[in-house]
Amino acid sequence: MTEFSGKVVLVTGGAGHIGRAICARFLQAGATVIACGRREPEQAIRHGDREAHFIAADIRDPEASQALIAEIAAVHGGIDILVNNAGGGPPIEAATASPRLTEKVLALNLLAPLVLSQQAHQYLASGSGPGSIINISSVSGARPSPGSTAYGAAKAGLLSATKSLAMEWGPHIRVNALIVGLVHHDAGIDHYGGEAGFQRVADMLPLKRMAEPEDIAKAVTMLCSDDAAYISGATLEVDGGGEVPVFLHLASEAESPK
């Protein structure tokens, strides 16, 4: 795969489970990959004999993200693809969430990708072809998100920003988003109550499994490819067919013989 040879790609949150998979996919396709995060990862981000360059930066700080963009431009001459992947937030009831925590969640999941996109705009718009921005959103931004209201609101805002930026920045930059569903990784099994709970949740999905990080990475590179040259302002659902409504399971359990 050499489709992205000569392209410079920035992946925020590049050392996380999904971020690593996105970096590896672009490395495999020949791109020069820069990953960023708050802390240097213990293991290098690699695919085969190719390695992503990591730059430590807290993208919630506009000065830090501006310095990140400036360093990449100085070394590589510009940026062709920006993947706003960094995100997350702790589960907490809205009634007890502190204003400071809410600010941090909004800063990471909405303000940081928006500001970083603005800072990268001049480079994304001045390459040999249209630049590309991929915003990694979540099902939490497309349906109710009890227990993570601020996170869901931020991800919903990111979906709105995707469509607005696509309209404002075309034809020089394409902007698209992924609505990511449940993703399998070992660190998250406890969140679902252990292996049994994890498998039960996975079995409720139409494809009977959670996404692997590589599933997300493949969707990212597809939207950045020439095959998607006429796709902008789109939100692609990568959720295995969606979450089956709970009422169907409740009804099924009620009908099951005791």
Which are the catalytic amino acids? 151
Q: Is 235 helix (H, G, I), strand (E, B) or coil?
A: strand
CA distance 84 to 117: 8
Percent of the chain as helix, strand, coil, to the nearest 5: 45, 15, 35
Nearest alpha-carbon partner for 12 in 64, 85, 80, 70: 85
CA 51 to chain centroid: 20
Torsion angle in degrees (nearest 10) through CA of 16, 214, 21, 42? 60
CA triple 253-255-257, angle to 5 deg: 90
Where is 131: in which H helix or E strand? strand 131-138
Please report where in the chains the tokens 């672009």 appear, as a residue. Answer: 26
CB 4 within 8 A of CB 26: yes
